Structure 1
Amino acid sequence: MDSVVYQHFRKEEAPFIDQVASWVQDVEDQYRPYLSNFLDPRQQFIVESLISVKSDLRYQFEGGYTDAERKRVLIYPDYFEPTSDDFEIQLFEIRYPQKFTQLSHGKILGTLVNAGISRDVFGDIMTDGVRWQFFVEKSMVDYVTLQITKIGRVTVHLETEDYTELLIPKDAWQIEQVTTSSLRIDALISSVYNISRQRSKELVENGKIKLNWQAFERPDFELGLLDIISVRGFGRIQLREIEGKTKKEKYRLQLGILRK
């Protein structure tokens, strides 16, 4: 990978950039498609940035539905014509006693991870307020079915479903324009949720924040395009676009926001 490329991204993203470079090399050398695991939006942005300069290669993202956050990428030579089956994604529905208990995104995510299922092999977890579904790589279907029989103390049964049974997710991103003094995590949280800078800093330092689904405790960290931060008790924020600066040198941002 050209050393100049790394200058456009964070130092900690270098290993992922190297990984993408190896995928590209495999496709070029073997002249056949490569399918990744599920990627978060920031990783998708990096993939798109790197492959878009490769005029002889194509790529396509798929996460199971149009507005999916987590998606697999298929990188392929220009002769190849991908279909939905090439992405090898399976939809699961969680059957549970709906009249007597409730599930949550956090409980489902924690159960999957604690069962030894890597975060990059399953996609979005969705609900319409009652039903719950999630996507997983087809190679993991049998393992997931055998391992997940309870979520917390609730006995559950997982059933594979066709895409025609996909529910309409209840949560939807609201697009908002926000002005903030900095791209720092604590500054953005303060601006979006109208809380003090000190309070937002404490939320980060006390482990109440996740950056791209990973625990994070650096309030001074500057966000990049398509980063997602989850703020426990408040919701989620995604940096969609940096639109410029005001006369007072504040950032004008387009954000996707989920409020609790």
Structure 2
Amino acid sequence: MNKSSLSFEHYRGNEEFVKRIYDYIDQCEVRKRIIVTPFFSPDQSAITRSICGKQIMYKEDGGYKGAERVRFAFLPFTTNYQFPTVILKASVSATFGMLSHRDVLGALMNLGLRREMSGDILVERDAVYLVVDKDIENFVVCNLTKIKRQHVHFKRYEGSLVSNTSIRYQHKIVSSMRLDTIVACLANVSRGKAQEMIASQRVKVNHVVLEQSTFVCNNNSAISIRGYGRFYVREVIKKTKKDRLVIDVGVYE
């Protein structure tokens, strides 16, 4: 794939990651072998899908249906490739206090593991689940034996997981679908402040950083605002008598 003819304008703020994806694709096409990526964040995964399109065969996997963090396999030919992904589970007790996602992630990072080496972390009242590559399964089992004040013992989990991501929907009223107007509404700030946030690359629409306050959002737009959270603009429901728009917005919890 000729990178010199590619425009990175659409991926401003993610240029290095985009180059990395094209390098993976080049390796797959030139060497005629399967290239497997690390685990990507939702933003990175959306960019990867956009780049691949129908130009190259690929599969993705996060260990279970609905996983947020997934990795990709670029395929030089049709194959039934199976990802070496495993799910680990450790039972925990609420006696020492409820563990958080941050607690578990911090414990993993303290082992010297980069974030891209593991997938989703699901924390429930009585259990913690980790999605990892099979190559580091034994390392995690042998070394991740304590999280905060709790002693834990991870072992492979053969059951199925269900995403615990929840979205709470509510109606908002805006004057237009311009990005600055939407951001001001979602973050509960002035329009001027929203424009500053957009210009400073703190806002992503469908996982891509945008700096144009005049950008018009469509239905089914995923919007993330650094420091304020993630939102999903599902649709415009109706217009009010004063010609304002009632929109259905989901807030990730």
Counterpart Cα distance in 1 of 2:57 and 2:124: 34
What's the secondary structure of 2:11's corresponding residue?
coil
> How is 1:103-182 mapped onto 2 (pairs within 5 angstroms)?
103-162=99-158, 164=159, 166-174=160-168, 179=174
Instruction: Provide the TM-score with structure 2 as the length reference.
Output: 0.73
- Please state how far the C-alpha of 1:74 moved relative to its aligned partner: 1.0
CA offset digits 1:20-41 (Å, max 9, x no partner): 1111111111212111110111
2:246 & 2:117 partners in 1: Cα distance? 35
In structure 2, the partner of 1:237 is 230
Gaps of 5+ in 2: 209-222
Task: Please state whether the residue corresponding to 2:166 is helix, strand or coil.
Answer: coil
Contact 2:34 2:76 in 1 (8 A): yes
Q: Which residue of 2 aligns with 1:59?
A: 58
Q: Is the 8 A contact 1:122 1:135 kept in 2?
A: yes
Count matched residues.
228
Give matches, 1:1-260, under 5 Å.
1-10=3-12, 12-54=13-55, 57-82=56-81, 86-162=82-158, 164=159, 166-174=160-168, 179=174, 183=179, 188=183, 190-192=184-186, 195-197=188-190, 221-226=202-207, 229=224, 236-238=229-231, 256-259=250-253
1:144 is displaced (CA, Å) by: 1.5
**Are the equivalent residues in 2 in contact too, given 1:242–1:251 (CA < 8 A)?**
no
Larger radius of gyration: 2
1:49, distance to aligned residue in structure 2 (A):
1.6
The one-letter code of the counterpart of 1:28 is E
3-state secondary structure, aligned to 2:205: coil
Whole-Å separation in 2 of the counterparts to 1:87 and 1:240: 33
Q: CA deviation at 1:224?
A: 2.9
Q: Retained in 2: the 8 A contact 1:93–1:158? A: yes
Alpha-carbon shift at residue 172 of structure 1 (Å): 2.1
- Residue 72 of structure 1 and its aligned partner are, at CA, apart by 0.7
| Letter aligned with residue 83 of structure 2 | F
Q: Which runs of 5+ in 1 are unaligned?
A: 206-217
**Cα distance in structure 2, aligned partners of 1:78 and 1:116:** 35
Asked if structure 1 preserves the Cα contact closer than 8 Å seen for 2:89 and 2:157, the reply is: yes
- Which amino acid is 1:21 matched to? Y
The aligned amino acid for 1:221 is R
Distance 2:248 2:133 in 1: 32
TM-score (norm. length: structure 1):
0.71
Cα RMSD (Å): 3.7
Asked if structure 1 preserves the Cα contact closer than 8 Å seen for 2:42 and 2:69, the reply is: yes
SS in 1 for 2:162: coil
Partner Cα separation in structure 2 for residue 50 and residue 133 of structure 1: 31
For the residue of structure 1 that corresponds to 2:49, the secondary structure is: helix
Give the letter for the 1:102 counterpart: M
Distance 1:221 1:102 in 2: 31
Aligned partner of residue 203 in structure 2, secondary structure: coil
Letter in 2 for 1:66: K
